[in-house]
Structure 1
Amino acid sequence: MPPSVDSVVVPPRGHRVRQTIEQLRARILDGEWPVGGRIPTEPQLVAALGVGRNTVREAVRALVHAGVLECRQGSGTYVVSTDELAPVVARRLTDDRMTEVVEVRRAFEVEAARLAALRRTPGDLAALDGALAAREAAWRGGRVDEFVEADAALHTAVIAAAHNGMLAGLYASVGAALRSTVAQSMGDTLEPERYVDHSRLVEAIRAADPERAAREAGAFLESPVRA
């Protein structure tokens, strides 16, 4: 016999909304709805998630407020970020906060370099060598945008070699802001005086020398903004 209406447990409305937010977030993180792509329409979400229109509407509104989704009049709702912290950091990134951004970079990157020297694996060293070579090639190519991405990839490889999941997640959240500061410091062209050699950092990590690795990572960030 099917359960009666009275015996069916209906979660409180707030709980249903939270569950729906988590379902939407999971699909975004899994890549089902990539950044820049449009999510299904409200009726489609209702059918797919098995909840009411109001629940879907509130969950979408929450993710819009968090900066993960963006509603575009007459077009639909789009994914603009996979991370709720990244838009917050981006909004705070202004010229008068450049010093603060550099301080945040130091907090992440110096400790990451120290940990990487202690924990790096052969796979990490191979990734660092590849990222360093790509960074050098990007500099020789002369395109600022390509160099900024290659520089970010090298720093991300150092973070990964630290083998600290929380540190990696936080660094990913502020990655766009950090790349923006590097791009601003480079200007429109790659000038020789702005070049910073990162090979000593990689060698310190390879040598399992945490103090030297931390020192090399910090040296990049002594001036207002360096890559």
Structure 2
Amino acid sequence: MSKTPLRPPLSEEVVAKLQSAVAKGRWKVGDRIPAEPELMAEMGVSRGTLREAIKALASTGIFEVRRGDGTYVRATSEISGTVQRVYRDHSDQDVLQVRFALDTQSARLAARAAEPKVIDKLRALLSQRSEAWEARDYPAWAQADWQFHLEVAQASGVPLMHEIYESFGDVFHGTKMVQRLADGFDGCLRAGHEALVEAIEAGDPERAARSVIENLDYCISWMP
């Protein structure tokens, strides 16, 4: 006699729907999700089931429940949520050490696999970075720099590498990077940027890695 497959708990189905909504961009990081009555009606579930699902996603770091205010999106995936929680327990220096591993391997792999159109995109981002730095538009500078490094990670050809790198978001750049800027800091250092693109275009993995290390050593030297 065949057995009917067991259906997963209803709360797990709601978790999957909420995760999908975040992943597809229905709610962005920082957004407050709809109130409980609206979500209960939309998903056809009880308040208890919905709260159980939200609690599960809050434990992964994807949601943040604020008493008396609502539930907000903190991250777009469990990896990103975990990184955000872990970051609070470690210093900026520790986080930058993680970049040595991610950036150097991304650079090596990109030097073996990057296509001409990727090189063009990297150079365009560096041009935006330079223009923003000269204009003292630091948020725009940080955004262009971050997108550049994300593109290198994607050019590695390893999707997981890109996903892990992307999960660090504001930890590596964004407001935290801007807050660390100091007089004399070179925001357009060629090492790890223009020099990295040249190494990638030349198909030289070790030269690419050395360029990244030079850049990160420079960043560490400016940390308090």
TM-score range with shorter-chain normalisation? 0.7 to 0.9
Out of 80-89 and 53-62, give the one that drifted further.
Answer: 80-89
User: Which residue does the alignment assign to 1:162?
Assistant: 156
What is the CA-CA distance between 1:16 and the residue it aligns to?
Answer: 2.0
Q: Distance in 1 between matches of 2:180 and 2:138?
A: 10
CA 138–99 in structure 1, closer or farther in 2 if over 3 Å, else same? same
Report if aligned partners of 2:130, 2:188 keep a CA contact under 8 Å in 1.
no
Match of residue 38 from structure 2: 44
Residues 133 and 95 from structure 1, CA distance in 2 versus in 1: closer, same or farther, beyond 3 angstroms? farther
1:58 aligns with 2:52: yes
Aligned-partner Cα distance in 2 for 1:94–1:36 = 18
Give 2:147's match in structure 1, choosing from 153, 174, 183: 153
Query: Does 1:196 pair with 2:189?
Result: yes
Change beyond 3 A, Cα 1:95–1:134: farther
Task: For residue 23 of structure 1, report the CA deviation from its aligned partner.
Answer: 0.8
**Which residue identity does 2:11 align to in structure 1?**
V
Contact 2:122 2:148 in 1 (8 A): yes
Where does residue 209 of structure 1 map in the other structure?
204
2:127 maps to 1:133? yes
Q: Secondary structure at the match of 2:94?
A: helix
Quote the offset at 1:68 in angstroms: 1.9
Greater Cα offset, 135-144 or 47-56: 47-56
Query: 1:24-103 maps to which residues of 2 (within 5 A)?
Result: 24-93=18-87, 97-103=91-97
CA contact (8 A) 1:185 1:225 kept: no
Q: Which runs of 5+ in 1 are unaligned?
A: 1-7
User: Which 5+ residue runs of structure 2 have no aligned equivalent?
Assistant: none
Distance 1:88 1:63 in 2: 11
Shift of the alpha carbon at 1:118?
0.7
Contact 1:114 1:213 in 2 (8 A): yes
Q: Tell me, yes or no, if the aligned pair for 2:80 and 2:167 is still in contact at 8 Å.
A: yes
Moved more, 102-111 or 52-61: 52-61
1:101 deviates by 1.1
RMSD (Å), alpha carbons: 2.6
For each residue in 1:73-102, what CA deviation from the matched residue of structure 2 results, as whole angstroms up to 9, or x when unmatched? 444322232133334433444696222112
Query: % of aligned pairs identical?
Result: 34
Question: What is the TM-score normalised by the length of structure 1?
Answer: 0.83
In 2, Cα distance between equivalents of 1:205 and 1:37: 38
Contact persistence 2:21–2:27 (CA under 8 A) = yes
2:118 aligned residue: 124
Q: Does the aligned pair in 2 maintain the 1:67–1:87 contact within 8 Å?
A: yes
Q: Deviations over 1:15-46 (max 9, x none)?
A: 32222111101011101122232322222222
* Pair 48,94 (structure 1): closer, same or farther in 2 beyond 3 Å: closer
